[in-house]
Structure 1
Amino acid sequence: MIIIILCMTALTVAGAFLLARAGGEKRVYFAQAPDGPCAFGCSMAWLAVRSDDPLEVLEALQLEDASACNWNSGIGAVYDDWLGATRVFVSPAVEGWVFAVGLSLPHPLGTGFADKCTPLLVDLGSRFSETQYFFSYPPIDYYAWARVKDGRLVRAFAVSDEGVVWNKGRPSREERSLGLKLFELRGVRGRKGDAGGEIILHPTEDHVLRLANSWSIDPTTLHVSHAPAGLGYIATAPYRWRTERTRKAA
């Protein structure tokens, strides 16, 4: 499945936009021919917002320089090394959910950094009945998820190779069913590794995608059959989302 997603991403990046030079300035054109859903999720961050209106989600996020684009170009852009650093794709609605996809979404980073993720989720929670956040990035061993229902942050969790950096609310039933209930302890009781130390219990990308499937939709399974052809929006993440230290590093 991951190989299929990566191949699909390479094709979307190659065909999603045209770069042209005019007067020495690089310009980006995004395709606006309506198309059906494209899969994403591997090594990516996204919001799943309970809504049928992508424009309403776009406005709530206060994204900048928005323009219409289709699934193929939007997903291709957020996976691109250059465009993905600052872009967010707001998708057409799929089965009552609108996705906001991009590595430029705020991420919880723990002590020493301003928490810009929680305020964003709480604000969305005041506008939509449910908002979910997911982030899976195996290259840095970072995984996160959060859920806001009826205006209340009921669960938020993030872990990196340095340990838990975000932990609010009680583990959900869906987390426990995936064997995630012991993450706070960072180990498994009664089991020993080959070196005699405690075995570290750590989530994987598969856990994040399975949890997304339990709460809303696993985006790696999206296919054109999930929704009619449509257009979403590609936009620039606001400057206020950028990482900010609250104190100097030691």
Structure 2
Amino acid sequence: MLPAVVILVVLTIATAAAVLAPRLLPRRVRMDVAPDRPRAFGSEMAWLAVETDDAGRLANALGLEDLSVANWNSGIGAIYDLKLSDSFVFISPPIEGWTFVAGVSLPMPQGGGFVDKAAPLLARVAREFSNVQYFAAFPIIDFYAWARFENGQPRRAAAFGEAGVLWDAGRPTAAERELGLSMLELRGILNRQGDIGGALQLHPTEAHVLGIAERWSLNPMAIEASGGQKRENGVGWIARAPHAWRAQRVRSAA
């Protein structure tokens, strides 16, 4: 007979293996493929709105692989799941000629010592599609962004974080002005005590980002119904986010 201590060690190892094995296995995600109606998203989220009905072509332009069919409910659920959100994006069925690509794993405009991966990605997609838009709204970290490329050219890009303006290219659009987002020049009196001079940027909110999205394309928080009419059922895709999208610090010169 085996000594009691040996039996105890074997049982301990077996128990540990049973607990750790699922964590060591490759992550597999099972998606519901039954067509369903659109699910709202947008808060604490980044997304692309691309004017196309061709999800396959869009996925290829983004460099996405390992695509699996997913309906709205499971796709939106995955990109909001704390264990899955960093690794996947959801490609929606087309709505009124627009296709969304949503996920917190999308590259965000960076400041400081980080490599900018958002602008190059948008420029690449814009070479394939005539209207490409980017949005991000993360109130919890006070980060908001929007950008638009038309016919391969950047028209407007803006991003704001706790540190201030991270991205400001092109002139503010009519949508931004309608929402009260503008640069206010503070002129003051020279050498007057307390005079700050320069310009003051009104800091945006999630409502501003969604408002711009609504004016440029579609507000994803309002897609579950339109004019009281429920939208058609459909299925989209879930895809693993490329490793190249992850934040990366700028390497200092030797």
TM-score under structure 2 length normalisation: 0.80
SS at match of 2:29: strand
Distance 1:134 1:92 in 2: 18
Q: Which has the larger radius of gyration?
A: 2
Which secondary structure does the structure 2 equivalent of 1:213 belong to? helix
Taking the aligned partners of 1:53 and 1:160, their CA distance within structure 2 comes to 33
Matched residue, 1:154: 155
For structure 2, the 5+ residue unaligned runs are 1-18, 189-193
1:53 and 1:92 in contact (8 A); partners too = no
- CA drift of 1:88 comes to 0.3
Corresponding residue number in structure 2 for 1:41: 42
Moved more, 116-125 or 55-64: 55-64
Task: State the AA in 2 paired with 1:57.
Answer: L
Query: Does structure 2 conserve the Cα–Cα contact (< 8 Å) formed by 1:174 and 1:214?
Result: yes
Alignment of 1:86 with 2:87, yes or no, is yes
1:227 equivalent in structure 2: 231
Aligned twin of 2:4: none
Q: Using a 3 Å threshold, how does the CA distance of structure 1 residues 157 and 227 change in structure 2: closer, same or farther?
A: same
Q: In the superposition, relative to structure 1, how do residues 228 and 170 fare at CA in structure 2: closer, same or farther (>3 Å)?
A: same
Write the mapping of 1:27-38 to structure 2, written as runs, cut at 5 A.
27-38=28-39
- In the alignment, is the contact (CA less than 8 A) between 1:91 and 1:232 conserved in 2? yes
User: TM-score by structure 1 length?
Assistant: 0.82
Cα distance in 2 for partners of 1:42, 1:62 equals 25
Aligned to 1:193: none
Query: Which residue is 1:54 aligned to?
Result: 55
1:239 aligns with 2:243: yes
Aligned to 2:210: 209
**By how many angstroms is 1:61 displaced?**
1.0
Structure 2 counterpart SS, 1:29: coil
Counterpart amino acid of residue 36 in structure 1? R
Per the alignment, residue 169 of structure 1 pairs with: 170
Task: Name the residue aligned to 2:64.
Answer: 63
Q: Is the 8 A contact 1:95 1:227 kept in 2?
A: no
Q: CA RMSD in A?
A: 2.2
For 2:83, the aligned partner's letter is W
Report 1:51-200 matches (<5 A): 51-182=52-183
- Provide the rounded CA distance (Å) in 2 between the counterparts of 1:231 and 1:65: 16
1: CA distance, partners of 2:113 / 2:147:
21
Contact 1:95/1:226, CA 8 A, preserved across alignment: no
Residue aligned with 1:109, SS: coil
Report if the CA contact (8 A) 2:126-2:132 is conserved. yes
Higher deviation after alignment, 156-165 or 53-62: 53-62
Shift of 1:200: 6.9
Could you tell me which residue of structure 2 aligns to residue 9 of structure 1? none
Taking the aligned partners of 1:56 and 1:231, their CA distance within structure 2 comes to 16
- CA–CA distance in structure 2, aligned partners of residues 210 and 162 of structure 1: 23
On the 8 A contact 1:210/1:218 being kept in 2, the answer is yes
Could you tell me how far 1:227 is from its partner in structure 2? Answer: 3.4
C-alpha distance 189-221 of structure 1, shift in aligned 2 (>3 A): farther
Answer whether contact 1:47 1:134 (CA < 8 A) is retained: yes
Is contact 1:128–1:150 with CA below 8 Å preserved after alignment? Answer: yes
The equivalent residue for 1:14 is none
**Which blocks of at least 5 consecutive residues in structure 1 are unaligned?**
1-20, 191-195
1:113-139 deviation line (CA, Å, top 9, x unaligned): 111111111111111110100000001
| Percent sequence identity over aligned pairs | 49
